[in-house]
Amino acid sequence: MMTLAVLYPWLKALHVAAALVFVGGVSAGALCLSAAPHAAGAQVLAAVLERWDRYVTTPAMLLVWGLGLGLATMGHWFDSGRWLIVKLVLVVLLSGLHGVQSGRLSALRRGAAARPWRAAPTVVVLVAGIAILAVVKPF
């Protein structure tokens, strides 16, 4: 019989793996959309990335949320300080950014004109903030 204590590191590892896949997908989407106004074949690239987004990045994001909330509840992390609340805000911002990118990729695939998009630096800052808060737990 698996206890929660045995299960916890496995769920945490799955959470981290899902987060890495999610961040990879968001970064790829940000780069594709920033290049789209100047690139030939952007519509084909958007179609490929949209499929990746639908079957890999978005499920990874849902896993990150579900496992993250489960781990925080199991580990009583909500009582441990404000770092988790700030981390949650950053994760929500990153997820919102992904939602906007996902819609833009879909529009681009359908043939809409590419609009300027510069989100890659924001993605880097958000991910760095999330990693620092998760590892250092500064407050």
Minimum distance of another protein from residue 23's CB (angstroms): 16
Report helix angle 83-109 to 120-136, nearest 10. Answer: 150
Q: Which CB sits closer to another protein, 102 or 133?
A: 102
Q: Which residues bind another protein (CB under 8 A)?
A: 43-44, 47-48, 51-52, 54-56, 61-62, 65-66, 69-70, 73, 92, 95-96, 98-104, 106-107, 109-112
Pairwise CA distance, residues 44 & 136, whole Å = 41
Q: Which residue lies nearer to another protein by CB, 73 or 80? A: 73
Report in angstroms how near the CB of residue 12 gets to another protein at its nearest.
17
Task: Indicate the residue among 111 and 121 with the shorter CB distance to another protein.
Answer: 111
Long-range contacts of the stretch 86-89 (C-beta < 8 A, 24+): 86/129, 86/133, 87/129, 87/130, 87/133, 87/134
